[in-house]
Structure 1
């Protein structure tokens, strides 16, 4: 089983209706990144020059035929040169600008039709008018999410010239403590596996998954 496979237990994630609200059992204080504002920018860039490194396999036979370029979700974009210029006539808003650097992986075929990859980076400047809370003890941060995709380009030596599509999201966030209504802990169903383990540790499998406490004890 899982939360969504052959599981009818009500203590699991999923949609709710108005009758389910009666099962809210407590107000839970959680630590979370609250997003105060965000926006997405989409663009297409032509003729971008990318310096390539980390050729794999090393020493490909030229000429190289460009195949594609993609950003890697496991190697996220970084943000630098952040400026927040508040707007005098709208004190809770600001012009937010930043430089975003996005690692990419370029795929190619060498002269012997052997596939390979190389890495590079794309750097763009972004700005937007966003809601920015006033100064408080808990700091506010500008965060970014970015993705790049390209299927048009050429490679000459260690330089790629590409046309790429890019999406960037700017967020105003702060790590805060926030009260949320809760239905309590979920009931975790056992994983569906071919050969369930036999317990050789008395009491170990009976430990609670989540900590519990009696507030009146």
Structure 2
């Protein structure tokens, strides 16, 4: 390959000229990219000419991908003009169904539920199944408050006032929950200390699952 220059050049002059050419080429990259995007979007070809010889199109218009003299986009699914987006692309955009936003939330909730279940011991899981077989006159949240407050030493009349549930109903519910054999004390009277903690873990799991 042979290069010809108007005047003799030293190595330093040549290096400076090459650097200037590289700088100019770098500066032209955004323009070249904008031209390519413009042509792809509109189907029109652009030709760079000396200033004053052809109508000018600003770089901002190129970066926006729309010519300055382009008519407004067609409405009501009408075919777009030559300078706009092709009608087929418009139809594809409008017909595309929006991605469901609830799917990731449901997946995350299910993943959390599985993790919470895995943290339960086999005995606690059996207690959960026992609780799910009881009448649904109490919500999982009611069960959690009842068990938590009883274990902490609160009296039934105080719990009744806080929950708005009859004290006899609370007592009957407690007795039904601790009827599971793996919760009972060695003498068969009430729940053991370990049984109370197993029951607490089970009611907390159900309350958290119901809240999701």
Give the TM-score range, shorter chain: under 0.3
Higher relative contact order (CA 8 A, sep 6+): 1
Relative to its length, the structure with more helix (as a share) is: 2
- The TM-score with structure 2 as length reference comes to 0.15
- What's the TM-score once normalised by structure 1's chain length? 0.14
Name the structure where strand makes up a greater proportion of residues: 1
| Rg comparison, structure with higher value | 2
